[in-house]
Amino acid sequence: MTIAQQITPANRQLPDIDAAARGLYIDGQWRPSQSGRQIDVVDPSTGAILAVVPDATIEDARASVDAAAAAAPSWRATPPRRRSEILRRCFELMIERSEMLATLISVENGKALKDARGEVAYAAEFFRWNAEEAVRISGEFGVAPSGTNRIIVDYQPIGICLLITPWNFPAAMATRKIAPALAAGCTVILKPASETPLTAYALAAIYEEAGVPKGVVNVLTTTTPGPITAEVLADPRVRKLSFTGSTGVGRQLLAEAAKNVISCSMELGGNAPFVVFDDADLDAALDGAMIAKMRNAGEACTAANRFYVQSGIYDAFAQGLADRMSALKVGSGVEVDTDCGPMITRKAVEKIGRLVDDAKAKGARVLCGGDMPSGAGFFYPPTVLASVSEDSEMAQEEIFGPVAPLYRFETEEEAIASANDTEYGLAAYVYTRDLARGLRVSSGIEAGMIALNRGLVSDPAAPFGGVKQSGLGREGGQHHGIAEFMEAKYIATSF
Ligand code: NAD
């Protein structure tokens, strides 16, 4: 089936894949790579090649830094109100084109159209939110404790930013960085994941149409991110690295950025616990579990990775979760009624299969799913595993797929200790009707974000980020996100 055949009349806004694949976006121009090399973009629901995009070279990377540097003085001098209006226009255009963008995300990433629609709304909101932030950047003024002078603190754009994003939210992970960077007055180079470049390029065309001047946003796709990143970070004009991706790559980039002492924001991997106490509202906990586990088919850094369920509610929760997971429709993302699309690559499916096999070998019981399907596309069935051993690899590793492992616990202390038994600390979920316990457990769990009786934490208006090896810094939130793209300048003066 072609993509057009898979898209039903209800969502007939077809993306222009050829336009999205027309080139690298440098200095407001669509350019081929200087090497002439190209990257295949694959449809995960079939394994077929959807498009090719240029594979940037080091020379292309240098050209994008030059473009960002040339655009920087006038962008930082652009009045905040004007910057705000351009960002607002980006939001409006994204909403106008939301069906096209959602389809494009679904086609290249594989996620279910309903998840892609949610992503576009979330991604666009970063522009609306930061349009409002752009005109609210204020400094500080005070008297030094000695009384001898005044302290003025001015917030200035940090400089040229390198933004590196993953494939799992190809729109939102980019706008979560671009919108605050532009609001702060910075110019940027975006390096999206090579699995999902089309969304990044389609968005670049929207920024241009909204009035973002040439050179302010540059987009580069490459299959050699290490050397390209090293080249960009070696340029002393580049002052910021904002990365979203795996903890392993984040560690390497921190070391690379250390050479020029570049400011780093890191949104890294997660291993979210989902804790259900005996007194939880069972239906609410199951609804929340389905969102926390199955948004994006489990390919989310905030995805519930370990379900800790108290003994008294364990059997009912396990049965309820298996019933709901086995009722999900697995299929190509662009089909309107798909609940669970394919994973991003064959390698990702194999990793999930390996983790499930390991859990089974260590005593896990399969309540639904659990077998690697054959056939085209990179599918894995929604799976629930009961009685999973804490020694299983999936207790420590991100599953990044539609697999829910259940662990039993008895006491609150045990639940907190198990939840914290990981190097990660991004998101956590807690279900209980006892508010005092909910707040106590939320306080005890080592994570940057807690969803208390909810299955979702992401919100552009809230600070998103992790503790421990899940990252450094915050994105979104009141002033948190934009602050990552500004430097405080202190002026001491007397009068
Ligand atoms: P990844 O780390 O493999 O890749 C992320 C990005 O880094 C991609 O653009 C990739 O091309 C680039 N990259 C890879 N190697 C690089 C190198 N040596 N130098 C420079 N860039 C390099 O991650 P992924 O598989 O694309 O995404 C999944 C991971 O991202 C998961 O671990 C997930 O938890 C994490 N993630 C975190 C958040 C968050 O907000 N904390 C959000 C989404 C995803």
319-352 tens-digit pLDDT: 999 999 999 999 999 999 999 999 999 999 999 9
**What mean pLDDT is predicted for residues 156-179?**
98
Residues 223 and 278 in one domain: no
Q: For residue 91, is it within any domain? A: yes
**What mean pLDDT is predicted for residues 424-430?**
98
pLDDT of residue 205: 98
Q: Is 168 in the pocket of ligand 1 (CB under 6 A)?
A: yes
Q: Is 270 in the pocket of ligand 1 (CB under 6 A)?
A: yes
Residues 60, 229: Cα–Cα separation, whole Å: 12
Q: Is 245 in the pocket of ligand 1 (CB under 6 A)?
A: yes
Q: What is the arrangement of strands in the sheet containing 449-452, beginning at the earlier edge strand?
A: 365-368, 383-386, 403-409, 304-310, 272-276, 427-431, 449-452
pLDDT of residue 478: 86
Q: The pTM is what?
A: 0.97
Q: Is 196 in the pocket of ligand 1 (CB under 6 A)?
A: no
Q: For residue 200, is it within any domain? A: yes
Instruction: Identify which of 169, 249, 305 to mutate to test ligand 1's pocket (most ligand atoms within 8 A of the CB).
Output: 249
Q: Which amino acid is at 17?
A: I
240 SS3 class: strand
329, 338 Cβ separation under 8 angstroms: yes
Q: What is the CATH number of the domain that holds 168?
A: 3.40.605.10
Least confident of 8-22, 161-175, 242-256: 8-22
Which tokens go with 177? 């960085």
Quote the number of domains for the chain. Answer: 2
Q: For residue 182, is it within any domain? A: yes
Q: For residue 466, is it within any domain? A: no
Which of these is catalytic: 267, 299, 398, 484?
267
Among 360, 371, 363, 289, CA closest to 325: 289
Residues 84, 87: Cα–Cα separation, whole Å: 5
- The protein residue whose alpha carbon is closest to atom 42 in ligand 1 is 301
Q: For residue 164, is it within any domain? A: yes
305-322 tens-digit pLDDT: 999 999 999 999 999 999
468, 271 Cβ separation under 8 angstroms: no
* DSSP designation for 173: H
Which tokens go with 142? 């005070």
Q: Which pLDDT band holds residue 7 (cuts at 50, 70, 90)? A: low
As beta bridge partners, residue 368 has: 384
Phi, psi of 368 (to 5 degrees): -160, 155
60 SS3 class: helix
Residues 69 and 12 in one domain: yes
138-149 tens-digit pLDDT: 999 999 999 999
pLDDT of residue 340: 98
Residues 286 and 243 in one domain: no
Q: Is 246 in the pocket of ligand 1 (CB under 6 A)?
A: yes
Answer yes or no: is pLDDT of 185 > 60: yes
Answer yes or no: is pLDDT of 8 > 60: no
Answer yes or no: is pLDDT of 358 > 80: yes
Residues 360 and 483 in one domain: no
34-46 tens-digit pLDDT: 999 999 999 999 9
Whether 301 is a known active-site residue: answer: yes
Q: Is 242 in the pocket of ligand 1 (CB under 6 A)?
A: no
296, 398 Cβ separation under 8 angstroms: no
- The CA-to-CA distance between both ends of the chain, in Å, stands at 75
Whether 267 is a known active-site residue: answer: yes
Q: For residue 117, is it within any domain? A: yes
The half-sphere exposure of 104 on its side-chain side, counting CA atoms within 13 A, is 27
Radius of gyration of the chain (CA): 23
Residues 299 and 217 in one domain: no
Q: For residue 124, is it within any domain? A: yes
Residues 306 and 449 in one domain: yes
- Which ligand 1 atom sits nearest the alpha carbon of residue 464? 40
Measured at the CA of 252, the angle between CA 250 and CA 257, to 5 degrees, comes to: 90
Phi, psi of 436 (to 5 degrees): -60, -45
Give the mean pLDDT of the chain: 96
Q: Pairing mode, if any, of strands 403-409 and 150-157? A: unpaired
Residues 363 and 455 in one domain: yes
How remote is the CA of residue 283 from the centroid of ligand 1, in Å?
A: 34
Q: Which pLDDT band holds residue 360 (cuts at 50, 70, 90)? A: very high
Residues 347 and 488 in one domain: no
Q: Is 319 in the pocket of ligand 1 (CB under 6 A)?
A: no
Q: Which domain holds residue 362?
A: 272-460
pLDDT of residue 5: 52
The half-sphere exposure of 195 on its side-chain side, counting CA atoms within 13 A, is 21
How remote is the CA of residue 251 from the centroid of ligand 1, in Å?
A: 11
Residues 218 and 161 in one domain: yes
Q: What is the CATH number of the domain that holds 422?
A: 3.40.309.10
227-243 tens-digit pLDDT: 999 999 999 999 999 99
Residues 300 and 204 in one domain: no
Residues 335 and 348 in one domain: yes
Residues 454, 194: Cα–Cα separation, whole Å: 33
pLDDT of residue 462: 97
How remote is the CA of residue 300 from the centroid of ligand 1, in Å?
A: 11
Residues 147 and 53 in one domain: yes
Q: For residue 465, is it within any domain? A: no
